[in-house]
Amino acid sequence: MSLLEVDDLAIHFGGVKAVDGISFAVEPGEVFAIIGPNGAGKSTIFNLISRIYEPTRGRIRFDGQDITRLRAHDIARLGIARTFQNIELFDHSTVLANLLMGRHSHRATNVVQDILFLPKVRREERAHRRKVEEVIEFLELEAYRGKMIAGLPYGVRKVVEIGRALAIGPRLILLDEPASGLSVEETQDMAFWIEDMRREMGLTVLMVEHDMSLVTQVCDRVLAVANGRPLALGTPAEVQGHPDVQAAYLGTERAS
């Protein structure tokens, strides 16, 4: 069974059909990319899956469960994590606090227990801290643990956001342009991390990306979209060679 199934998904903002009839399925353990020109509706698809937008039409199923009508704060608990194109972090907090916040949906203690700092709270706290330390080690963030987000360079903030997504302990991680704004070396690190997320952590990865070298390197399958409509679905090579995709990128008119 597919881990994520998107069926005839659409969202219209007034007369603008930002996403209009997108269907795809992501298999467990797969690295799947959505590509397309700017404004194609890629990030909108992410916002629909993470329930920030309300779809006009269509269904989203995660692990067999219909999540089309769930609320945005229910998604983390199910095991879906994401990053944003413009990096959404808690800027006035430390890296450690940001990553610990990723554990929020796993905390089960109430206000009274928290205030009294009961053994149960301490036990939970230690477990969360251990999980977060694993993430810090994986992404090599040791040097930044106590630093405020607001003062960190772009590339590091990008990694911290992925760290927070991993701290959620997801089965599916959505990465919105993980390589944008990164140097060549940083992009290479990103490729290794994505590989490891799949291999070592058993994650399924869905990403939006412009950098075709990264897509070719790490992705199993690619869905190309333009103007909210699907263009082609297949291996990176197949999709790149598809005449409709080339037309969308190069802007050449095709007689259809």
Partner 1 sequence: MELLQLAVGGLANGCIYGLVALGFVMIYKASEGVNFAQGDMMMLGAFVALGLGNGDHLGLPFVLAVPLAMAVMFCVGWGVERVVVRRIFGQPQFALVILTIAMGFVFRFVAGAVFGYTPLVMETPYGGQNLNLGGVVIGYADLIAIAVTIVLTVALWAFFAFTRIGLAAQAASQNQLAAYIVGVPVMRVNSLIWGLSGAVATVAGVLYASRGAIDPNIGLLGIKAFAAAVIGGLGSLPGALLGGLIVGLVEPIAGRYAPGEVAQMSPYILMLVVLLTRPSGLISQVQMKKV
Residues making contact with partner 1 (CB under 8 A): 50, 52, 71-77, 81-82, 84, 88-93, 101-102, 104-105, 107, 109-111, 114-115, 117, 150, 164, 168
How near is the Cβ of 56 to partner 1 at its closest, in Å? 19
How near is the Cβ of 133 to partner 1 at its closest, in Å? 18
**Which two three-digit tokens encode residue 154?**
């772009």
How near is the Cβ of 130 to partner 1 at its closest, in Å? 18
How near is the Cβ of 121 to partner 1 at its closest, in Å? 9
| Chain centroid to CA 239 | 21
How near is the Cβ of 61 to partner 1 at its closest, in Å? 19
* 103 vs 98: CA distance, rounded Å: 9
What is the length of the chain? 256
Q: Which residues pair with 10 in a beta bridge?
A: 20, 57
| Chain centroid to CA 173 | 4
How near is the Cβ of 233 to partner 1 at its closest, in Å? 27
Nearer to partner 1, 115 or 127 (CB): 115
Nearer to partner 1, 60 or 224 (CB): 60
Structural contact between residues 128 and 103, judged by C-beta atoms closer than 8 angstroms: yes
Beta strand ranges found along the chain (DSSP E) = 4-13, 16-26, 31-35, 57-62, 65-66, 80-82, 172-176, 204-208, 221-226, 229-234
Nearer to partner 1, 24 or 84 (CB): 84
Nearer to partner 1, 73 or 199 (CB): 73
Structural contact between residues 6 and 49, judged by C-beta atoms closer than 8 angstroms: yes
Nearer to partner 1, 115 or 143 (CB): 115
Q: Which residues pair with 65 in a beta bridge?
A: 62
* 228 vs 19: CA distance, rounded Å: 4
**Which two three-digit tokens encode residue 66?**
């219909």
Nearer to partner 1, 65 or 235 (CB): 65
Q: Which residues pair with 11 in a beta bridge?
A: 19
